[in-house]
Structure 1
Amino acid sequence: MKEFGYQRATDVPGAVAVLGTDPDARYLGGGTNLVDLMKAGVERPARLVDVRELPLDRIEETREGGLRIGATVTNSDLAAHPGIRRRYPALAQAVLAGASGQLRNMATVGGNLLQRTRCGYFTDVTKPCNKRAPGSGCPAIEGEHHNHAILGASGHCVAVHPSDMGVALAAFDAVVSYETADGPGQLPLADFYLPVGETPHRETALPPGALITAVTLPPAPVAALSRYRKVRERASYAFAIGSLAAALEIRDGVVADVRLAFGAVASRPWRAEAAERALSGAPATAENFAAAADAELAAAAPLPHNAYKVTLLRNLVVAALTELAEEAAR
């Protein structure tokens, strides 16, 4: 591992000022992803700025009736929070599905959003990778890609984003707040992650040196009846091969509101907008749930060894929405 400097930030302006003058510095939260990448030689920061003790560790009500989650709130505290469990249960379930207890105790909300892909070519510095070394190529396209993207990929990168938490946040229109040397800013999660395109090494729309300070969930009554479903290759802690955050509101047998987001199918949490449009105002039936999934997955472009994800996601949508519809009818 490359030698690096370390300092502990005591306030947000001070943390931001360091990265403003040192582009080779990185913020350190829980370190559950960054430190692993440093050990592998993928990340080589000159300095780590520890932000764990900044006053960003609270979950608070907003004036609009939503919840504001501080960036250094741990995944364990997020999943256990009564307001999250009651009003956004899919988010709590996603966090609990996302990692082992030890990792959840360390990992932070801001760091979770910024974690990088677990693609084996990205984490192996002996292999080419456009995300790690732009212009070097994407060997996953012709090589091992059974858990890679089927939506929104490009000829430059087919890696998937690994976050479970991000999938639920995408379904509920979360907004990311950040601080820079020029002042505060906000990004809807829908705009937070950049399309892969020809620049897969540019992953987010955050300005250089920006520090995530909070994630805000707007009020969403539909979220109270929600589920997160994750499919993985082993029952113990593992990254998803396909996942779904789903929320459903039914009135008189018709879909009044629906939220759907997919995980492990794209370079970012994938909001299933075509499926939502197909279901809005439609009878809440298994046939319509399947048709909505087909409408979303019509854009899928699977590789030879990951076409199974199309069927997997279709089945997840039908199963989760059917379960939610049955619960709503009780």
Structure 2
Amino acid sequence: MVEEIERKILMLSLKPWLDPRELARALDGWDPREVADLEAAGLVWTPRLVCKLLRAFKKAETAWEFFCWVACRPGGFAHDRHTVARMVAILARAGHVELVERLLAKVRADGILLPFATVRLVIDFYGLSKKADAATRVFREVESICGPISRPNLALLCSSLLRTMAKCRRALDAMDLLEEMMARGVLPDLQTFSGLMEHLAGAGDLKGVHRLLGLVRQCELQPDGYMYSVLVRAYCKRERAALALRVFDEMRAAGVAPDAPTKALLVKSLWREGKLREAALVEERCEDVASGLPEASPGHVWTASAADLKKVLDIYSGCFAQLAAQAGTG
């Protein structure tokens, strides 16, 4: 009796199963013979299985062919918001603007609303493929794609579009969008300002940097250490060490300590421009340069700051302190 049960368990464990990644790899070229075999397999397609297969395809073109093919299968399968959202994101990442717009028009006609996260992904992906105009159209039509959105979500979407415009070197359009959103009462956060400011500073656009700093003050935001360091680097890069020193003084007056690289760059620039006394004063006043958390996470200037990292640190350190206290009382 025991042997019979073990045999049945073994048979159950050896049942054939479907690996979406292997299936997608086999269909990578979308060869007619492979498609015929897929049709003959008689698979029961579900939105979950279709999403897994779409994610497994290496080429957006193959994913699109499968997306269209599976919609025509007998058995009543119909794409839902999840499969459409997956396909839209894949096409946007590959820069297929026309296909994305055709698909968005179709789901609008069918009354399907996509998740807000998908719209933001599309705008972010258009930054990779340098499609700023397409990203702007999606931004303008967001409510017809995912329904009414809250003010915080609109601010997130604005940040994504600004980042995309920066990647596409459309700084003037980005500034116009920023002022438009501020007029509508949608105020970007400090990270968004810092990201755009760094882009303008990298392009040597000091006028744009000044304009952004004025908008920051207009929003009654207090620049953090990272924004100050962006300003100092921008002035030093254009050999305007006197202006960089003025920003440095303002930074110290606001109680924000500079980090070591920013201080070193300022001293070097002052020294190169012959301002030896000023360089010595900076060295003297910066003996306690910041050595803690970075003011921005590398690679995520637009989205992470020292304040964000400190919140995470406080959460974890608080948990450890609580565990230590419980162990001590136990």
* TM-score (structure 2 length as normaliser): 0.24
Higher relative contact order (CA 8 A, sep 6+): 1
Greater strand content = 1
